[in-house]
Structure 1
Amino acid sequence: MESQWVFNLLLVLQFVTLVAVVVWCFRLSKRVKNLKNNQAEVELYQKKQVQVLASGSIGMGRRLVVIEKKLNLAVEKQSEILSKEGGVSYNRAMELLEMGATIDDLVSKCGLIRAEAELISLLKQESRRNSDYH
């Protein structure tokens, strides 16, 4: 009789354990399902963010192309203006510097302002330094 009681007790314990495992599996499956849903939401959010960033990058790229074209046009116009107005004076100033002219000579003979003459002199000195190194 005692062995029957122990057998019944073990049978009840197995049943309770089985029920506990089934409940635990059910909860675990719900948790996995929730995690999958959350992951799907995060992926969707990230895809939207990538799309926003990509469209923003494309827009910025287009703007940069327009700005680059405008800058190139402005540089061309500036070069034209300089060549029409003062290109000869600058070339003459470079020649005079090679012959040993001073900044005051550049101002008086080329019609440059002192700052321009100083800048040309500095550029010429830098050019000499660079040619000495190479």
Structure 2
Amino acid sequence: MTVTSRPWDGAAVGQWLDHRIQAARLDQAAADRRGYEAQDDYDKAAAEEWVCRALQAGGKADDQAAFALHVKSLLAREEYRTTGIYDDRRFDRNVRATLRRIAKMTKANEGFENRLRYQRPA
């Protein structure tokens, strides 16, 4: 863990996860309406929703070290099971990318204040 100038805010992390789940669900609905050519977008949004739900269900957002360990344990999994996706390998790849992005955010303790629907990848 790096030493940051501001303290870890577990409530902000929880709110960020809530907002990302809502945004991912909206992105899935939009991709579903666009049809076949948007299957990759659907899987990417489904992966983000899966990650945020898994992190939220862990209940470790109040402690930075515990949250980072939870992200690391999810990254160590062999595969990620879910239904309703188009391509399992693409979904797994997007889950890992999302987990790595959240791991960087956790380590730096920044980015959780951004609650916009569309976010630039880090």
Higher helix share: 1
Same fold (TM over 0.5): no
TM-score with structure 1 setting the length:
0.25
Larger Rg, first or second structure (1 or 2): 1
